[in-house]
Structure 1
């Protein structure tokens, strides 16, 4: 999900695990550890766009990474606040920990199912970015003057905090349509349960308010712990409700396909941005290379997706290049839910991710109707791909888009 949500979740987990022993530092480092997996976006700065696409939500978002990185981060935090536990003594602990963290990231990244270029540079950027948090916070501590007595806890306590904050990040991401490689490198499948939008204010805002309220309370008090727990419980209950909604909407999609006489090879449903009421559905025809897109609001009077928009797959246009690395990344990322149309330039093709539906349901032929799309240059071999859209393009009327979203969210009558 969005970075703010992940910071809030990590901070709340940190407070729950270590708040009574470490005070505000538990909330601070919980938030930092909660955003650590998303440092993989630095791949955009040091590698090519397709490698960055494949690397996002990969090893840093996996359970093995959380398990192996947590002791390293835990030891770093323990030593940062004056602890003496651990196998390496003195200042040597810092280069040793940085090297171990870098080697862990690099080794796990090379086991990815898709070839990523520039892995050493990517993992070095992530390592240095995470180290920068220690440098900045250490500098702030120095400016304020080091207190005589610093609340600290053992290596084990900080390790539990780091593990809890890191692992809950990809777990939450599994509930989105984007998904994450939670078991990489043990398994290369991406988990995407499609129950919640990548940004949902109903999940985030109450959670944030309760966390800030808890932060204003005296450290270690029962009232502070109760407020923090309330945020965790409330957000978890809402997340559970999104799962219920998903199963409900999925059954509506299956019933609608049957009513329309569509034999689907597979289908996917997911909530639209910023809400859990209006859902999008995409189905792949089992007989011909065609996709069907539609929407359903929980406020619709009739339990059915309507209307259906047909989107040609044109997969045969991309078939000659199916084994090229960049195309394999697209097919893997979209889970074969993609459509192909003529590109902007001669010899080019535009490939659109169809899992997220259409920004303009009345115009599936418009290039700007798709949230994720890529331009494939077929004049070179292997083909080269560049990201065309990663979110609404500049050609999209955002005001009009959200107006249409709001009107459709309110539901349609059965008349």
Structure 2
């Protein structure tokens, strides 16, 4: 998710867990911890391709973040010695915020290595667009109320509304997957795999990308489309451009990272490999 969402979600969780006992400290530390995993974007990993495919790698490991939770809790009690008796509460806060921020990223299309180092596959369960105002605004309002008005109740309401919206989005993801399977089969659209993800800023419109040999297709489905047929557009993947490049390490890394959802093209004498899961066809 975007940085504002991660910051406000962390702050809202921190406030909900410990705000009544330590005041704004819980909100502030929640915001810091919620942002922490995504700071890996500032760590150079050797090449632009490595920076791309290993983003959300070790920093998003549920195993690593769980192990670090008591460490962060200990550091916080060193900053605020008067809260040392609340060590277990701080540990719960760090655990929930760190792992919660990772699980939010898991629900976007990009991919997250939640099982690192045992499994470096980037997992994704596309449920939310990377920026979704309907998820972010309730927690932003709730956090603002807690910060400026010391209103704990509004923070709880905002967090509850956002989590309710998240449950809705998860349900929509399951519904859309089933609907796409039915419609693609009914219309005789060939595919070996497909993936659906929300369109920008909404969960009412979904984009589906599918692969069939040297071609891929793109289609959109809205919750209001009902039984209307899909408009399916096919495009060439230009796999012939991969000749002699398949074993090239950057290409192999991108092929694994995209899970096969890629296309090749030529631009200004260079070969370009595109992740089809992100963006859209003009």
Does the 8 A contact of 1:21 with 1:151 survive in 2?
Answer: no
Contact in 2 for aligned 1:252/1:305 (Cα 8 Å): no
User: Would you say 1:280 and 2:202 are equivalent positions?
Assistant: no
User: Stretches of 4+ moved more than 4 A in 1?
Assistant: 150-153
Q: 2:273 aligns with which of 326, 345, 351?
A: 351
Q: Contact conserved, 1:16 with 1:228, CA < 8 A, in 2? A: yes
State the TM-score, normalized to the length of structure 1. 0.64
- Which residue in 1 is equivalent to 2:131? 199
Please report how far the alpha carbon of residue 310 of structure 1 lies from its aligned counterpart in structure 2 after TM superposition.
1.0
Q: 1:203 Cα deviation (Å)?
A: 0.6
Mapped partners of 1:319, 1:14: distance in 2: 52
- Tell me if structure 1 keeps the 8 A contact 2:264–2:271: yes
- Tell me the equivalent position of 1:298: 223
How many residue pairs were aligned?
Answer: 282
Q: Would the aligned equivalents of 1:175 and 1:195 in 2 still touch at CA under 8 Å?
A: yes
Q: In the superposition, relative to structure 1, how do residues 357 and 53 fare at CA in structure 2: closer, same or farther (>3 Å)?
A: closer
State which structure, 1 or 2, has the greater radius of gyration over its C-alpha atoms: 1
Counterpart Cα distance in 2 of 1:251 and 1:335:
20
Change beyond 3 A, Cα 1:312–1:359: closer
Structure-2 separation of matches of 1:301 and 1:154: 53
Deviation at 1:178, TM superposition (A): 1.2
Q: Does 1:182 align with 2:108?
A: no
Q: Please show how residues 91-110 of structure 1 align to structure 2 within 5 Å.
A: none
Moved more, 28-37 or 243-252: 243-252
Match of 1:170, SS?
helix
RMSD: 1.8
Pairing 1:324–2:248 present: yes
Shift of 1:312: 1.1
CA contact (8 A) 1:271 1:280 kept: yes
Asked if residue 69 in structure 1 is aligned to residue 1 in structure 2, the reply is: no
CA distance in 1, matches of 2:90, 2:226: 52
Give the structure 1 partner of residue 89 of structure 2: 157
Q: 1:198-237 to 2 correspondence within 5 Å? A: 198-218=130-150, 224-237=151-164
User: Following TM superposition, by how much is the alpha carbon of 1:257 offset from its aligned partner in structure 2, in angstroms?
Assistant: 1.4
Is the Cα contact below 8 Å between 1:311 and 1:339 reproduced in 2? no
Structure 2: where are the runs of 5+ without partners?
none
Runs of 5+ consecutive residues of structure 1 not aligned to the other structure: 84-149, 219-223, 361-415
Return the TM-score normalized by structure 2: 0.93
Q: CA deviation at 1:80?
A: 1.2
- Residue 262 of structure 1 corresponds to 189
Alignment of 1:38 with 2:38, yes or no, is yes
| Maintained 8 Å contact 1:292/1:309 | yes
Cα shift at 1:196: 0.9
